[in-house]
Structure 1
Amino acid sequence: MRGTGDDMDGFEGEASGTSMVSGASSPYQPTTEPVSQSRGLRGIRCNLEYIRSFYGTLKCIEVVLSLFAFICIETIMECSPCEGLYFFEFVSCSAFVVTGVLLLLFSLNLHTRIIHINWNLTDLVNTGLSALFFFISSVILASLNHRSGAEISATVFGFLAFITYSINTFFAFRKLKTDSRSQNVPQTSDYIRARSESRDVEYRPEIQRLDA
């Protein structure tokens, strides 16, 4: 009977040791995922250098002008006809939202985490379309000529937004061309280097003999 107790003690010791080993190697262990999430949140920071830069300043001006134009057009109580007013309202609101989202992405460096989007091209399309639509909607609103203070203010902010977006479109186009050229230069140099190495191999038959 005593031997049985010793055997039981040994069995319990082996079982506890086995459970400790299996627990140590078990895949169902507490992970550091919350820590990694907190590190990801800490990585989001305000990029003051972009806000103070030329492009960041243009973005801030565009957001402010679009917001003021939208506020002014919303204060108009009477309109006849109203199609031009509704179009200007849509343009100013859309420009404010889209440009505000891009400004937020660029200011917090969130665009660097989405690498599948050409952000330079996205910015160029946004500024180009906003400039075009602000010009058209401002001309239509000015042609109504109701001479109300809110309508005149909205028209002025609309033309100012058109000028700002046009400037941004010009520089965004230049930036896109510069980036595309800088990307093509390394590819061209790599191609030339590969061609020169292949020619060296062709004109040096002793290397081919050693390889054979």
Structure 2
Amino acid sequence: MENGAVYSSTTEAHPGPARGARGRLTSYFTLKRLRGPSRFLKYTQLVMSLLAFICEEIVSQCTLCGGLYFFEFVSCSAFLLSLLILIVYCTPVYDKVEPAKVKSSDFYITAGTGFVFLVASLIFVFTHDNTVSELFAIGFGFLASLAFLFDFFIMVYEKCKQPRPRKPEATTRTEPLTEPLNA
């Protein structure tokens, strides 16, 4: 019996991509697209908006509930949007969509969420009932809105730092005109 017949059914020459130390879901998750402060700010946005939402959900009663409900909507939306952006950056979805569109979407989502979260936190400040959970929710709301706005200003700074492509200058014709102008 030759060795090829013994080992051929149990060994593979080239194992698939889902084998080894980074198998299954972890092989699709990467953090290399987010660098330095952006990675830290994205995680901060996610955690702070989740903590603001959790603290707001603990509130058992309210006098003026409009601010509480608006804050609840904004904090939940901010958490879900920041989770969505992190998923797009860290999975193969980023490769399937144009990177310029992902960055543009991140830019507008971060700006809008930061501004609306700040407004919701301010409204909640004026309508809360001074319970501990409301005060923690307001604090986490302000921290989350600051993280969103700081990330937005970093994106603006990086966008301004990039060189802009120049338009080609208008060139004049060097060959002589052979046809009369009023022909």
TMscore range, shorter length: 0.7 to 0.9
Which residue is 1:17 aligned to?
none
Query: Is structure 2 residue 145 aligned with structure 1 residue 166?
Result: no
The count of corresponding residues between Structure 1 and Structure 2 is 156
Query: Where do 1:16-165 residues align within 5 Å?
Result: 45-51=28-34, 53-115=36-98, 118-165=101-148
Tell me the amino acid that sits aligned with residue 157 of structure 1: F
Which residue is 1:175 aligned to?
158
Q: Distance in 2 between matches of 1:71 and 1:114?
A: 32
Q: Distance in 2 between matches of 1:76 and 1:93?
A: 15
Tell me the amino acid that sits aligned with residue 79 of structure 2: F
Structure having the larger proportion of residues in helix: 1
Which residue is 1:13 aligned to?
none
| Contiguous gaps of at least 5 residues in structure 2 | 1-17, 19-23, 177-183
Identity of aligned residues (%): 28
> TM-score with structure 1 length normalisation?
0.63
* Alpha carbons 2:68, 2:128 under 8 Å: kept: no
Q: Distance in 1 between matches of 2:73 and 2:59?
A: 14
Tell me the amino acid that sits aligned with residue 143 of structure 1: F
Q: Deviations over 1:46-83 (max 9, x none)?
A: 22334552211111110000000000000111011111
Tell me the amino acid that sits aligned with residue 124 of structure 1: F
Higher relative contact order (CA 8 A, sep 6+): 2
**Following TM superposition, where does structure 1 have runs of at least 4 consecutive aligned residues deviating by more than 6 angstroms?**
none
Tell me the amino acid that sits aligned with residue 144 of structure 2: A
Q: Distance in 2 between matches of 1:117 and 1:123?
A: 10
Larger Rg: 1
Structural RMSD (CA) = 3.1
Query: Where do 1:189-208 residues align within 5 Å?
Result: 191=168, 195=171, 199=174, 202=175
